[in-house]
Amino acid sequence: MMTITIEMIDELKKRANVSFKDAKEALEKYDGDLVEALVYLENNNKFKAFNAGKKEDFLDKVKEVIRKGNNTRFIIRKKERTILNLSLTFTIIVGVFTFHVSLVALIIGLLTGCKFRFEKNSGEDMKVNSILNKVHDNINNFKKDLHDDVPTEKE
């Protein structure tokens, strides 16, 4: 019986894109014959396409992004009243299909004193909210300065 080395197992793993265990078992079954082990793995549908793992990884990442989007809320408030409270996933989908309308609505919202926030379903605050608060404050300061610069009838 031939001794199976780690190099042989690694070579079979690399060529067949199989697990360490499957490579070792195939080599043991065929006494270290790499070609016979490859044929055995192929006949038993143990070969994995080299891009299949990448496709599954991509789909897993997409699912994770959607899950995170569903667990995050996009909230628009004016004063203390909540005007809109939607999942981030839905907000992005609507934003993509109605980009121009959404952009105009966001600008109007900012100019009319609305505050935008992102919150997790758990109520946890997100770092982006500090930036959104600064944008809101800067726009309000700009509006106030603009209003103060406009002469009134009494002047």
One domain, residues 19 and 94: no
Element (H, E) at 87: strand 81-87
One domain, residues 37 and 82: no
Identity at 106, one-letter amino acid code: L
Average per-residue pLDDT for the chain: 88
Element (H, E) at 22: helix 20-29
Using CA of residue 88, residue 91, residue 97, residue 100, what is the dihedral sign?
negative
Is 59 part of a structural domain of the chain?
A: no
Distance of CA 121 to the CA centre of its chain: 17
One domain, residues 77 and 27: no
Angle between helices 52-70 and 88-97 (to 10 degrees): 100
Is 36 part of a structural domain of the chain?
A: yes
Q: Please write the tens of the pLDDT for every residue from 67-95.
A: 999 999 999 999 999 999 999 999 999 99
Q: How many independent structural domains does the chain possess?
A: 2
Can you give the residue range of the structural domain that contains 133? Answer: 66-149
Is 50 part of a structural domain of the chain?
A: no
Output the pLDDT for position 63.
94
Give the DSSP letter string of 121-139.
TT--B-THHHHHHHHHHHH
Are the C-beta atoms of 41 and 14 separated by less than 8 Å?
no
Q: 39 or 149: which carries more pLDDT confidence?
A: 39
One domain, residues 34 and 98: no
Is 57 part of a structural domain of the chain?
A: no
Residue in the block written with tokens 């505050």: 115
Helices (H) and strands (E) in the chain, counts: 7, 3
Is 48 part of a structural domain of the chain?
A: no
One domain, residues 78 and 39: no
Q: Please write the tens of the pLDDT for every residue from 27-61.
A: 999 999 999 999 999 888 887 765 555 677 888 89
